[in-house]
Amino acid sequence: MEHIASLPEVTEMDYIMGHGVFCDTCTTLTTRGETFLWNLERVTKQSRAFDGQYMTLLSDSGDTNVDLYVIDTGIDITHTNFDGRASFGDNFTGKMAVLNGDGTSVAGYAMSRKFGVEKQGNAISVKALAGEQGIGNSRITMDAFQYVVDQVNWRGNNRRTVVNMSLGGGRSTVFNYFVNAIVSHLNTVVVVAAGNENRDACNVSPASAELAITVGAFTITDSRASFSNFGSCVDIFAPGQSIRSVTLNNRDQL
């Protein structure tokens, strides 16, 4: 990439890298013989009082009318923890292999049977990042975003839609406009990672998009994770360190 940028005919380059959940000092926390899912406890309680009890979003009516579009490295849709609720949407990278587990883990945090908050939703894989490092660029990512817009328009208003982008690059007015437009015109929730560079999220896109829900990371002690971006563009902090989820090849990991 540095070689390409140095060529005289190249005037500008940009890139977007996936933001996985970085783990500074990960340890396996266990209680009652089960993996301690502290994140699920914390998001359902006002205080940090861990007792092994937590609530998850599980509808008695079996409502599966919630679609989560994960614009990321792709999802291993065959993972048994998704119970067949993960599907392939589209791939904008030209590379079919899913070599980075970030997209799979993101879907797992949201809707996997064992680790998810909403255990009946559907996850749609929209691949915009490729390779083991999960790298893309703004053009590919906005193409992926346009695909989601088209899908939302096609499916109509009878479905509830959430778009997740755990990725980021330099601040982009155009990218932020795309995000704000889908929120304001399509009544769709867009959730984005604040970023993992320990800097002001207002300098990052899509984290700086005004209408996105920008999420920073905190630890089990309720302190900001050392890697998490910060600042006025962060709307909310959520558990973001030592979190167990699913990953590639039908496995799970911290």
Does residue 133 form part of some domain?
A: yes
Query: What's the half-sphere exposure (Cβ side, CA atoms, 13 Å) at 30?
Result: 4
With beta carbons less than 8 A apart as the criterion, state whether 179 and 212 touch: yes
Q: In the prediction, which pLDDT does 34 show?
A: 43
Least confident range from 53-57, 135-139, 200-204: namely 53-57
Region 233-242: what's the mean pLDDT?
94
Q: Please give the Cα distance from 148 to 221 (Å, whole number).
A: 36
**CATH number of residue 242's parent domain:** 3.40.50.200
| Continuous H helices in 86-227 | 102-111, 138-155, 173-186
Q: What are 124's two structure tokens?
A: 């749609």
Mean pLDDT of the chain: 82
Does residue 48 form part of some domain?
A: yes
Residue 191 gets which letter from DSSP? E
Statement: residue 17 has pLDDT above 80: no
Does residue 17 form part of some domain?
A: no
Does residue 239 form part of some domain?
A: yes
Task: Identify the band that residue 106 occupies on the pLDDT scale cut at 50, 70 and 90.
Answer: very high
User: Among 56, 55, 54, 58, which residue's Cα sits nearest to residue 36?
Assistant: 54
Q: Please give the Cα distance from 233 to 179 (Å, whole number).
A: 14
The more confident residue out of 39 and 227 is 227
Region 207-223: what's the mean pLDDT?
95
113: containing domain: 26-253
Domain count, the chain: 1
Statement: residue 112 has pLDDT above 60: yes
- What does the angle CA 4 – CA 138 – CA 72 come to, to the nearest 5 degrees? 110
Does residue 9 form part of some domain?
A: no
Does residue 175 form part of some domain?
A: yes
Phi, psi of 39, deg, nearest 5:
-65, -40
Helices 173-186 and 138-155: crossing angle, nearest 10°?
Answer: 10
Task: Identify the band that residue 5 occupies on the pLDDT scale cut at 50, 70 and 90.
Answer: very low
Q: In the prediction, which pLDDT does 63 show?
A: 59
Does residue 166 form part of some domain?
A: yes
Q: In the prediction, which pLDDT does 100 show?
A: 87
Does residue 145 form part of some domain?
A: yes
